[in-house]
Amino acid sequence: MLNMNNKDLLSQIQQRHHDVQIKYTYFLLTASGAAIGYSIEKAYDEPLNGQLFFFFIAILFWSLSFFYGCKTLKKIQALLSANHTLISLAVGNHENQPTTAEEFEAANKGTKNALYINNQEAAKCDRYQFRLFVTGGGVFMIWRILGIFFKTVS
């Protein structure tokens, strides 16, 4: 059974987890933006040829990574809002506090459902953000290696 100290500890751990998740998301957002900028700088003097296909694909993946990072943050905001609603309902100070037990149960169930859905979507966006970022890096490396190869061959 949880006593008050355990609840405080659980709350602290949950807060730390949230802080780390937010920092990780912002890190990948920053890295995606930097990768786009760096790759554009590297492609500035490149002639138009078929190798640039990989460059554009890398830019696309990093752009999508950035998009999903922004979506992750929006879903986390929705999670925080739903958590606030759930706590407000439990404490009894929600602006539209239900007056009957049936209304309370329906509001509680709906809010928990929103928490579950937003949590699943945030996790999915988080996975996409990471996978797209790494894939963009791989495609960028292919582009650079092909460039080196064709310069040495010609």
Q: What is the DSSP string of 65-131?
A: HHHHHHHHHHHHHHHHHHHHHHHHHHHT--TT--SSHHHHHHHHHHHHHHHHHHHHHHHHHHHHHHH
How close are the terminal C-alpha atoms of the chain, in Å? 73
Digit-by-digit pLDDT tens for the chain (154 residues) are 556 566 777 678 878 888 898 999 999 999 999 999 999 998 988 888 888 999 999 999 999 999 999 999 999 999 888 888 888 888 888 888 888 889 888 888 988 998 999 999 999 999 999 999 999 999 999 999 998 898 888 7
* Predicted pLDDT of residue 5: 67
Cβ count within 10 A of residue 140: 23
Beta-carbon neighbour count of residue 14 at 10 Å?
Answer: 11
Question: How far is it, in rounded angstroms, from Cα 135 to Cα 54?
Answer: 11
State whether residue 1 is helix, strand or coil: coil
Distance CA 29, CA 128 (A): 12
Task: For residues 44 and 55, give the distance between their C-alpha atoms in angstroms, rounded to a whole number.
Answer: 11
pLDDT score, position 2: 52
Contact 111, 89 (CB under 8 A): yes
What lies within 8 Å, CB to CB, of 94 at 6+ separation is 85, 88, 107
